[in-house]
Amino acid sequence: MNADQRIVVGVDGSVFSTKALRLAGRMARSLDAPLEVVTCLGTSDLFLASHLPEESTPTTTQLEETAKRLVDESLERAFGGDVPAGLTRTVKFGPPAKVLVEESRDAQLLVVGRRGRGGFLAQIMGSVSGACAAHAHCPVLVVGDDEEKRQAAE
């Protein structure tokens, strides 16, 4: 299978990225494509640092281990014990939007959640998903949360 047939999904551990992961898994199964889960560590990743003990200053290794744990938790939420065959996990260092756009160069599809950790709730789309939609080198699927639809209908 060609590398450019892979589906890349950005995961930050949020509910939005779990929904994106679940949908990316269904797409990968339907298209018989490899699924690559990409987690990004920026230079000031406060979300990951917030999952470490308060008295510690996070090292790169600690941040990477925390990112892997958050991905594992997202995989469990998204798939339970039925993780798609051929799924790979990658932790990349750099700004998430830039990393995901670069990863899209040799992918058939990039899947991201509409909003992740942080940002303003009134935004329709987060900065990372917006940048991916505007600059990716392949089609981008931006996944929202069903809860938003229910709240908007009320």
Question: Tens of pLDDT along 73-116?
Answer: 999 999 998 898 889 999 998 889 999 999 999 999 999 988 65
- The domain locations on the chain are 3-153
Asked: is 3-153 a CATH 3.10.20.340 domain? The reply is no
Tens digits of residue pLDDT in 105-139 = 999 999 998 865 544 444 455 788 889 999 999 99
What is this structure's pTM? 0.80
pLDDT tens digits, one per residue of 8-25: 999 988 878 889 999 999
Given this model, what pLDDT does residue 154 score? Answer: 47
Q: What is the mean pLDDT of residues 65-71?
A: 88
In three-state secondary structure terms, 33 is coil
Separation in Å, CA 118 to CA 45, 97, 115, 125, 146: 11, 14, 8, 12, 19
Q: Does the pLDDT value for residue 33 go beyond 60?
A: yes
3-state secondary structure 45-80: CHHHHCCCCCCCCCCHHHHHHHHHHHHHHHHHHHHC
